Structure 1
Amino acid sequence: MTGFPDGFDIDGLPTRVLFGTGRRAEVAAEVARLGRSALLVTGRSQAAFVAELEQALGGGHAGTLDGAVEHVPVPLAERARAVARETGADVLVAVGGGSSVGLAKAIALTGGQPVVAVPTTYSGSEMTPIWGTSEGGRKTTGRDERVRPRVVLYDPELTLDLPAATSAASGMNAVAHCVEALWLAPANPLVGALAEEGLRELAAALPVLRRSPRDVAVRGGALRGAWLAGTVLAAAGTGLHHKICHVLGGLGLPHAQVHAAVLPAVTAFLADAAPGAVARIRRSLGVADAAEGLWQLAADAGAPTSLADLGLAPEQVDEAADLVAQAGPAAPRRVTADDVRSILGTALAGRP
């Protein structure tokens, strides 16, 4: 990989980060630092670790909410907030991917509980103050410091059983955070350096994981890339690419997979307007063409490369394009509804 130490701690930033093999054993201690009892918020893919954590928390385990799903539907968020109130938990522990972290954020947005995140995918959401909910075919997002996790514990061993398809799509989600940060914050040297390093880590790890999914060192590289990706997402914010993905998510398409299919098309569209960002993407990937290189990375990782394969119908393109354009997403050039239609047409075809 790229010379990072195997484990490290970071304090003094908005989020305390504990990274390394076995760090999951420190969750109970982190909960005790922040409060008296924790509500575990999770999906259903980490049942064994959740059971261990319930035991480790002992009397500090207020309850477990295991119904996290993609895009955080508003009715689910409301039920989760009610459960948090009923249990009296003063800390939330999110175990899983972006869905679990997103549901914990939805609770914290109104309840104010500190969040401890234990990511098991590469979404990067755990490092950001960005929240999102969905209702009626629309996804609403926002930024609020109340939802930014106070502590994130990254343990590569928790990702060893992540399915290949999930690893690929989630990893390309993180790649998108790095890429968009490069054209949203071109004058920020810290964001640029972290984005390039995150992109290099992910590009090195994702194709290898397709062949060697239980390689702890490679899993660690992917998690480091995801950590950096989430960090730059928090700093740079979201723009055209993420807005397209959020709109498509509101229409029912799977979030991480959409990132993989859309990113090359958005990169091709913005290439002339963001030559510096394109040069950094090429350098990080070691390719001659940024958009083509991102498409090839998704293909090599085993991620989707076409919106048609994800279920977007041609007749939905106009609706999606209008919603994106109306939102006025940040981009290094003006973006019209016709531009978004062109991007979606390219992503439907599956090659930039």
Structure 2
Amino acid sequence: MSRSRKLHRLGNPDTDERRAQRMLFRHLRDDSNANRGRMTRRVHELQLLLAMDPVAFEQLIARLMEAMGMKVELTARSRDGGVDVRGIDTDPFRGGNVIVQVKRYRDTVTPSAVRDLYGTLQHDQAATKAVLVTTSRFGPSSHQFVTGKPITLINGAELVGLLKHHGFHEVFAAAGSGAAAGGAAGDLPPVEVAAEPARLLLHWTGEQEYDIAALVCRGNRALSDEHLVFYNNGSTPDGSVRLVTGYGDANACLMVDFDALPAEADRLVIVAAADTENHPGSTMGDFAGPALILEPGADQASAVVHLADGAPSNTAMRLGRFDRDSAEDWDLTPALAGYPGGLRQAVVAYGLEVDDA
């Protein structure tokens, strides 16, 4: 395999458009008063979920899965074997039989609960993947454990975001006034609020499938092999960047907790690549009308950046990079570059070794 680091440039937006795009993304950190207001609302939203009847909560997760396009079956509580909901994801590329466990917790979910779900998955002859949903959060060891395994972890902030994204706003109607179901929010114990991740969505036109990848870097070097997130490694060790599915109006989606990125990281690089393994001969030539959409969460407005089309001479394409500045803001630069050698060439360009074998 060629180890060439030469980057073949594609067209870049003009200076005025690039400046406007950078300004769109300069709102990942907000003033403390606005942030406190959002955190208060998120506490109330999670308290509403915690106050739900357990069966009603499981039914809500089942309805959410149906809204995401799955065929769903609630399991009998007396013989669920640790599984609360079963679903069939009919997506022809990423689908499968899904088992879901829900935990209405106020504190961090223990790693043992994650390991137990993995054991359930291994002994379930029908299931191909598992999802653990909680109203609280997961620690770094849990995220590290599921790396490379067909398990998805959804924390409380992400659950609220998914419910709102799929139209379940009525669930949180009382949160605006601070009242939780059955009484005032202050009557419930404190809730440990997970960090609000940003959703980085990638859209393109046409039916050709492409993979999205992210490299967590210091300068132009990835921190480690584990800090390359792609179809074969769905999360960084700390869970700060994760590849997720379930956003029906997006071709691909990354969850990014910018505040949780490693302290030594100052750059996040986003790459799209043709699936040459399953579709030999495919290129970036059909990567038409691409756009990056940032949904920062916490009810902030989305930001959209339109990018140049791909070229048939390349099999991977760098879409842009987020850079951390001295004020701890993350700014996007739509720095486009093509890689004839595909994702491998992109990985090598950022200092990672690739085993040709």
Q: TM-score, normalised by structure 1?
A: 0.28
Which structure is higher in RCO with an 8 Å CA cutoff and minimum separation 6? 2
Instruction: Write 1 or 2 for the structure with the bigger share of strand.
Output: 2
Instruction: Write 1 or 2 for the structure with the bigger share of helix.
Output: 1
Q: TM-score, normalised by structure 2?
A: 0.28
Larger radius of gyration: 2
